[in-house]
Amino acid sequence: MICDVVVTIDAGQCDAVLFDLDGVITDTVSIHQAAWKHLFDDYLARRPERVGEDQRWFTDGDYRRYVDGKPRYNGVADFLRSRGIGLSWGRTSDSDDAETVCGLGNRKNRYFRECLDHDGVSVFESTVDLIWRLRNAGVGAAVFSSSRNCQAVLEAVGLGDLFPVRVDGVVADRLGLPGKPDPSVLVEATRRLGADPARCVVVEDAEAGVEAGQRGGFALVIGVDRTGHADQLRQHGADVVVADLAEVEVQPVARRLSAIPDALTSWHELIGMLGHRRPAIFLDFDGTLSDIVDDPDAATLIHGADTVLQHLARCCPVAVVSGRDLRDVRRRVRVPGIWFAGSHGFELTGPHGQHYEHSGARAMLPALDRAAAALRERLADVPGVLIERKRFAVAAHYRTVAAERVGEVGAAVREVAQRYDHLRVSSGRKVSELRPESDWDKGQALRWLLERMANGRAAVPIYAGDDLTDEDAIETVRASGIGIVVRQAEHGDRRSAAHFAVNGPDELRKVLHRLADLLDTARKVGR
């Protein structure tokens, strides 16, 4: 069994998916492999024997290790180097009978085009189906390839217009981009899509490709194993490996942030959803009750938020659910009578001394200590990065890191995560985190809190938050409650499952103030 988990691409947390061409979209791997074998077997057979050179036949293992997924000339050079053979690089204009790296690469390309013209190529229909499912969910798609034949192959199978963005060997050469496993080609694709690698998925079948995805700090790297090398894909950076993309599900969400109704101008619709039922209020802290700041330690409640929270707490249950440590968020929100959930809900307290700590997460504290130390060492030369050791997480903040080095931060976090079986990577606003691997998140914490906050009385959960980590909770209340997303300019026009939106923490304060007045009036009338 290659994949023992359900692989889901959440449209609320994913802006785009980047697909490799050969072996993922089209069944051209066998053609490439045959062309490479023809090239090297013929070349090695004709080359005079020399001391220190290995002239055995080209194997499937050689293909995966030295040429698969790489730019053609790099593949030639890497394989020959593995056999102790050194040739001059030559020029890309070399004839295909020249004994240079470029000459051999051009000869391989001739063999490939001859096979393509003679035998044709087939498409993996499950991949095309996934691309259309993503498109229907509003998720972008791009194709990338080390091959200079990418567009010709797509046109040969009738998919020439499927992708709005294509970054292939021709584009990479024109821009001077290094090939895989360097992530530059992938990063260029996300740039052209107007997306962030931390919100994009890479789909690859080659070891060099999954390594590029891992090094580029992408949110998820899916390996496709059609030839029985799943373990190698995982070792090189794949987060999960599937046999076919039919195993990948797409979870759609309703709208872009710009299309979500404003909570203030749609006040009557919001109150209509609440009806005469009693609410329970759940609020994120950073970017929701506080303005976004460059230094996480400088975050404070916005003016008037403490008064509104106190007012609400007299009328209904209130909880602050934050990614910050419990002690930290309680220090910043000094409001009595409310619940607090810190570390995305791994530690919770109530107004009457109640306390809960996730036992499984507690067992991972030593691993988190080691991971924090490893990240500090790994990113010591990246100016602006801040490694924060929370109680149940390690956060790598990159708000003040130069744009060209942001990918290094995400890649380092993923690299460290691979050393520990029970740590997972989570992405938020300008931060990558390592957390204990579990089914616990803000949504699960909300459910746990709701059972205890309402004292057995039915309550309508209202959750407000601004970040990707808040979508777990917003999705949780989608069917039976009210989700409010706090729009931030730096988030762009991402997608959210929220019912309503506000523009910044101050607008949320106004919504909460209206709600508190409404509940207070109802409470007094009901006396």
* Whole-number percent of the chain with pLDDT over 70: 97
> pLDDT tens for residues 123-162?
899 999 999 889 878 889 999 998 888 888 898 888 888 8
Indicate the burial class of 176 (C-beta count within 10 angstroms; 0-12, 13-18, 19 or more): exposed
Mean predicted lDDT score pLDDT of the chain: 89
* Res. 344: pLDDT tops 50: yes
Higher-pLDDT residue of 166 and 30 is 166
> pLDDT tens for residues 378-409?
999 999 999 999 888 899 999 899 988 888 89
Higher-pLDDT residue of 407 and 308 is 308
Query: How confident is residue 456, by pLDDT bands cut at 50, 70 and 90?
Result: low
| Amino acid 111: pLDDT | 83
Mean pLDDT of 413-434: 84
* Res. 3: pLDDT tops 50: no
Token representation of residue 240 = 């999960």
* Res. 282: pLDDT tops 60: yes
| Amino acid 385: pLDDT | 93
Indicate the burial class of 353 (C-beta count within 10 angstroms; 0-12, 13-18, 19 or more): exposed
Fold annotation for 29-119: DNA polymerase; domain 1 (1.10.150)
Mean pLDDT of 20-30: 87
Alpha helical stretches, state H, 275-419: 305-313, 326-332, 359-362, 365-378, 406-417
DSSP result, 236-272:
TT-SEEESSGGGEEEE--SEEGGGSPBTTTTHHHHHH
CATH of 7-26+122-251, one of 3.40.50.720, 3.40.605.10, 3.40.50.1000, 3.40.50.2300: 3.40.50.1000
* Whole-number percent of the chain with pLDDT over 90: 53
Mean pLDDT of 339-367: 89
Higher-pLDDT residue of 180 and 321 is 321
| Amino acid 1: pLDDT | 31
Do residues 352 and 332 lie in contact, with contact meaning Cβ atoms separated by under 8 Å?
no
Lowest mean pLDDT among 21-30, 115-124, 186-195, 244-253: 115-124
Dihedral angle sign, alpha carbons of residues 261, 264, 269, 275: positive
Report the b/e string of 124-141 with b at 16+ CB within 10 A: beebbebbebbeebbbbb
Q: What's the full length of the chain, in residues? A: 527
115-129, 478-492, 507-521: which is most confident: 507-521
Q: Which residues contact 390 (CB under 8 A, 6 or more apart)?
A: 323, 324, 325, 328, 343
Neighbours of 267 (CB within 10 A): 16
* Res. 429: pLDDT tops 90: no
Query: How confident is residue 5, by pLDDT bands cut at 50, 70 and 90?
Result: low
Under CATH, domain 365-436 is a member of which superfamily? Trehalose-6-phosphate phosphatase related protein; domain 2 (3.30.70.1020)
Checking DSSP bridges between strand 347-349 and strand 339-342, what pairing results, if any? Answer: antiparallel
Do residues 163 and 142 lie in contact, with contact meaning Cβ atoms separated by under 8 Å?
yes
Higher-pLDDT residue of 354 and 362 is 354
Report the b/e string of 26-63 with b at 16+ CB within 10 A: bebbebbbebbbbbbeebbeeeeeeeeeebeebeeebb
How far does Cα 309 stand from its chain's mean position? 34
> pLDDT tens for residues 48-78?
988 899 989 999 889 888 888 788 889 899 9
Dihedral angle sign, alpha carbons of residues 157, 161, 164, 170: positive
Lowest mean pLDDT among 115-124, 235-244, 461-470: 115-124
What DSSP state is assigned to residue 123? Answer: B
| Amino acid 4: pLDDT | 46
* Res. 457: pLDDT tops 70: no
* Res. 301: pLDDT tops 80: yes
* Res. 422: pLDDT tops 70: yes
Query: Whose CA is closest to 491, among 510, 504, 507, 472?
Result: 504
Mean pLDDT of 246-258: 83
* Res. 527: pLDDT tops 80: no
| Amino acid 19: pLDDT | 97
Q: Decide whether 7-26+122-251 matches 255-358+440-525 in CATH topology.
A: yes
| Amino acid 85: pLDDT | 93
Q: Which residues are annotated as catalytic?
A: 284
* Res. 254: pLDDT tops 70: no
Question: Whole-angstrom Cα distance, residue 463 to residue 88?
Answer: 63
Mean pLDDT of 227-233: 90
Q: Which residues contact 159 (CB under 8 A, 6 or more apart)?
A: 25, 123, 128
Query: Whose CA is closest to 243, among 462, 24, 517, 16?
Result: 24
Chain position carrying tokens 């050179």: 53
The H or E element containing residue 22 is none
Do residues 261 and 500 lie in contact, with contact meaning Cβ atoms separated by under 8 Å?
yes
> pLDDT tens for residues 212-225?
999 898 999 999 99
Fold annotation for 255-358+440-525: Rossmann fold (3.40.50)
Mean pLDDT of 485-498: 85
| Amino acid 198: pLDDT | 86
The neighbouring-strand residues paired with 427 are: 432
Q: Where are the domains of the chain?
A: 7-26+122-251, 29-119, 255-358+440-525, 365-436
